[in-house]
Chain A
Amino acid sequence: MTGVIQSGLNCVATVLAAIPVRPTAASTIADDVDKLHFTLTAITLFFTGAIFATIFYFMIKYRRRSENDRPADIEGNLKLEIAWTVIPGIICAVIFVWASSLYFRNSRPPAASTEIFVIGKQWMWHLQHPEGPREINELHVPVNVPIKLTMTSEDVIHDFYVPAFRVKKDVLPGRYTSIWFQATKTGTYHIFCGQYCGADHAEMIGWVYVMTPTDYAAWLSGGSRNESMAQTGERLFNKLGCDTCHVSDGTGRGPSLAGVYGKPEKLRSGETRPVDETLIRQAIVNPNSILLPNYPPIMPTFQGQINEEQVLQLVAYVKSLGAEERQKNSK
């Protein structure tokens, strides 16, 4: 008999041991998020347990003993009502402040982040490093370096999710979203698509490879293609004929793009917008929505002629023009 119980317990123990409780924590924010998560778990288990225990206790203590029981006639108790309104209120307020400040901190990438670009499309991830290497469903990053991912979709809404880093963001067609992380441990971690996107949604998964800085540098320079995103973008810029209007000295029919990135631009509609990835992308795919005061609306749209990856390469090129100008001027 004890043998059966023993093997039964062994079985349960093996099963329980096979159940992980906490996912790998491999980023700078993972521990903070987990602290909040476990605090909430404790609160949940405490109150659920307390309610269940109270119910059990009352069920037994006040069980019906006869049909002639005279239960107490209690209408209520204002003090208790206030207590159990205010105390949960305070708990909620504390959690809200804690969670929101953590969220705020986690939403702002450090200024010196390395930027990597992500394009989701049914049903794979394209990742592009600015130095040139392109990956599919894999992301190689160095450890202890803040990484900013700028992301868009070619088709439907996807979601880039790395559980080990505790980061997730939807990836939308027609606009850019971004997240950042800093990996703290080398290793291999899941990438999942976190927003249902059709037939092979569950196959749209991959791996993040976090490497030591030396390994990463080696990986970056290895491989056949060494052209940076900006260089690819430049070739595309010329091939598509952008350079015929956007002449760098400003003598073309379109504005010069040297040094425009990051600066505010006043549009014909009167509003002022910063020249960022979003504006540049919009100018390429829907130029008539970004009209400038001193230029006629003659730029053709390139929507349908280039994909999101190529848009990002052009964006990278335009970004690099500013850097070159500043370098030239500082010489």
Chain B
Amino acid sequence: MSTLVAPVNEPPSPSSRVHYLNASYGIRSWLFTTDHKRIALLYLGSITFMFLVGGIAATLMRLHLIEPQGALFEPGTFNKLFTIHGIVMVFFFLVPSIPATLGNFLVPMMIGARDLAFPKLNLLSWYIYIVGALFTLYAIIAGGVDTGWTFYTPYSSSYAHSQVIAVALGVFITGFSSILTGLNFVVTIHKMRAPGLTWFRLPLFIWAMYATSIIFILGTPVIAITLFLLALERLLHIGIFDPAIGGDPLLFQHLFWFYSHPAVYIMILPGMGVISELITCFSRKRIFGYSFVAFSSMAIAVISFLVWGHHMFVTGQSIYAGLIFSVLSFLVAIPSAIKVFNWTATLYKGSISYQAPMLYALGFIGLFTMGGLTGLFLASLATDVHLNGTYFIVAHFHYIMVGGAVMAYLGGIHFWWPKITGRLYSDGWARFAALVIFVGFNLTFFPQFMLGYLGMPRRYAVYPAEFQVLNVMSSAGASILGIGYLIPLIYLLWSMRYGPPAGPNPWRAKGLEWETPSPPPTENFEEIPVVTEDAYNYAHSGGETRG
């Protein structure tokens, strides 16, 4: 079992100091906290729970698909499973994941502030998330939803006999949680940076959070109004989206994707921010091309609003609209490519170590590259015709969301775990889990690229027998992946009680968050630091603190 770089002197046990975790006790001190660090942990617990809900749905789906005629469920039940998997994973896990947990914890600390600009609003965000999640859990228990997470009309507005309104309201409500978090981050980053911390000295994680917050603010209100209109239509049969009573089903798709495409960048930009932090720390080098990576985050956020039509190439929209969305979709790939090259170049002539966070980061770069490049197949009009609506799409977005975002999330959790909990975990188990996840992931989703190209449509409860071998491979991978996700749950929870105490900076990383004790005190800093150097200034010190 390998160990982390141990500090010279054994640090005091976390229980011998006052810090944010033990400053007050009792459930009310948690439920009424305004401390961004505690709120981050409230979110951590909630989204982990939702991840389990969505993950169970996925496990059941993959088990069912072992057989061409379906091994376990009626088609109606299968349809509900993939719908719930999508809704829970997108809106209740991926969208909040890094921003609400790592973002909430780290944004104030990385910029040298004592908290976010609006701490009470932050707590309100969490409560709003919980209310939305409860609506959705109610919908699951009360019969489920079977429209797909995309809620296409007129099926969802006029034909589905399931809990569409409850879920639409759940997602609507949770949207406000994102909006308020984004608002909080934007104001905090603008107004509460420590003295000397200019924009171009900010850690790239902050740039990523900022870009993500722009999308939160501009995009989420549109999905809110769209789902509200859908609920209204279902309730009152007005004819906004149902052509039988004068509505336009494609209008729904435009409104839905206007948010949901930028949403996928909400899901990946924070992960990219985490990767910048991990690559620099574990190669002990500054990032290659800092301003290019920073501007790429902003470019992705802006261009992401212009490409939604690529989800609608086969709807019968005009060829010219297709051309415009296609060229813009190619354009949005370029900043992502720039980032991948910059991260790789950061490794050059570095001093690289392979602890678990770094393994997650390196896995991210490769898998995100693959996921991103398969996006080109879909941005290309001629190939998209054949691939749209098939497992190729499923594989593409899972490479980015799971091979990308979830790996980055896990890498970040492992990296900042000592800071958050004051404990170290077993790096051996962590590396093992990372490997299991990597193998399981590829075995699950690579066959799906092939399935899609061969013509197997998505959302199929049963399928022609010739697709069985690839489906079985994918399901086998899914079981491995599922086990891989459970392992960190065990050793991380174990470490909270039994892990050796972490010092302030077990990774010898650069960054203001590492200049506080682990866990940090409630007010983060005794004195607000003054910043005099660039981010990732690894070359000019051996990891000591900056003054």
Contact = CB atoms under 8 A, between A and B. Distances in A.
Contacts of B380: 36, 40, 95-96, 98-100
A77 B453 CA distance: 39
Contacts of B386: 33, 37, 163, 166-168
A309 interface: no
Contacts of A76: 288-292, 342
A103 B319 contact: yes
A40 B377 contact: yes
Contact of A159 (B244, B389, B470): B389
A156 B348 contact: no
A203 B75 contact: yes
Contacts of A202: 75, 457, 459-463
B155 A198 contact: yes
A64 B330 CA distance: 38
Interface stretch (A14-22, A138-146, A253-261): A14-22
Interface in A192-250: 192-203, 205
Given A37-B377, A62-B348, A200-B75, A81 B383 contact: no
Interface in B354-398: 354, 362, 365-366, 369-370, 373-374, 376-377, 379-383, 385-386, 388-390
A92 B159 CA distance: 41
Contacts of B152: 156-157, 195-196
Contacts of B159: 122, 155-156, 198
Contact of A96 (B244, B288, B326, B369): B326
A170 interface: yes
Interface residues of B, number: 92
A111 B333 CA distance: 38
A23 B390 CA distance: 13
B179 to A, nearest CB: 29
B345 to A, nearest CB: 7
A223 to B, nearest CB: 28
A67 interface: yes
Given A37-B383, A198-B159, A43 B376 contact: yes
Given A23-B454, A72-B349, A99-B381, A92 B334 contact: yes
A200 B78 CA distance: 11
A104 B316 CA distance: 13
B373 A18 contact: no
B243 A172 contact: yes
Nearest to B312: A170
A110 interface: no
A263 interface: no
Given A70-B539, A95-B380, A103 B322 contact: yes
B348 A58 contact: yes
A52 B289 contact: no
B298 interface: no
Contacts of B447: 19
Contacts of B148: 196
Contact of B319 (A92, A107, A175, A177): A107
Contacts of B147: 196
B353 A84 contact: no
Contacts of A194: 314, 388-390, 457
A289 B341 CA distance: 56
A75 B286 contact: yes
B314 to A, nearest CB: 5
B76 A199 contact: yes
A114 B497 CA distance: 74
A160 to B, nearest CB: 10
Interface string B65-102: 00000000001100100000000000000000000000
Contacts, number: 277
Contact of A44 (B290, B373, B457): B373
A191 B184 CA distance: 50
Contact of B466 (A20, A44, A73, A155): A20
A106 interface: yes
A169 interface: yes
B369 A48 contact: yes
Chain B interface main SS type: helix
Contacts of A201: 75, 79, 459-461
B483 interface: no
Contact of A190 (B331, B389, B464): B464
Contact of A62 (B319, B350, B453): B350
Contacts of B455: 23, 161, 163-164, 190, 192
A16 to B, nearest CB: 9
Contacts of B383: 33, 36-37, 40, 99
Nearest to B377: A40
A174 interface: yes
Given A18-B469, A40-B380, A168 B369 contact: no
B37 interface: no
B338 A106 contact: no
Contacts of B292: 76, 81
A196 B67 CA distance: 20
Given A58-B352, A84-B337, A199-B75, A163 B249 contact: no
B337 A173 contact: no
A95 to B, nearest CB: 6
Interface string B389-420: 11000000000000000000000000000000
B330 A95 contact: yes
A296 B398 CA distance: 57
Contacts of A54: 344, 347
B389 A40 contact: no
A172 B250 contact: yes
Given A74-B288, A84-B338, A95-B380, A161 B389 contact: yes
A85 interface: yes
A68 B415 CA distance: 22
A62 B283 contact: yes
Given A55-B344, A99-B383, A166-B386, A64 B351 contact: yes
Most B CB contacts (10 A, CB to CB) among A161, A201, A203 go to: A201
A92 B385 contact: no
A51 interface: yes
A267 interface: no
Given A73-B540, A100-B323, 13 more contacts: A19-B469, A44-B370, A51-B340, A58-B344, A59-B354, A99-B380, A102-B382, A103-B381, A106-B385, A172-B316, A192-B457, A203-B75, A203-B462
24 contacts: A44-B374, A51-B344, A55-B362, A64-B353, A71-B285, A71-B350, A72-B349, A77-B288, A81-B292, A92-B330, A99-B383, A102-B382, A103-B385, A156-B159, A157-B153, A163-B455, A168-B388, A174-B243, A174-B249, A177-B316, A190-B464, A201-B79, A201-B461, A202-B459
Interface of B: 5, 75-76, 79, 146-148, 152-155, 159-160, 243-244, 249-250, 283-286, 288-292, 314-316, 319, 322-323, 326-327, 330-331, 333-334, 337-338, 340-342, 344-345, 347-354, 362, 365-366, 369-370, 373-374, 376-377, 379-383, 385-386, 388-390, 447, 450, 453-455, 457-464, 466, 469-470, 538-540, 542
**Leading 6 A-B pairs by shortest Cβ distance:** A163-B455, A174-B243, A99-B380, A73-B539, A103-B381, A69-B351
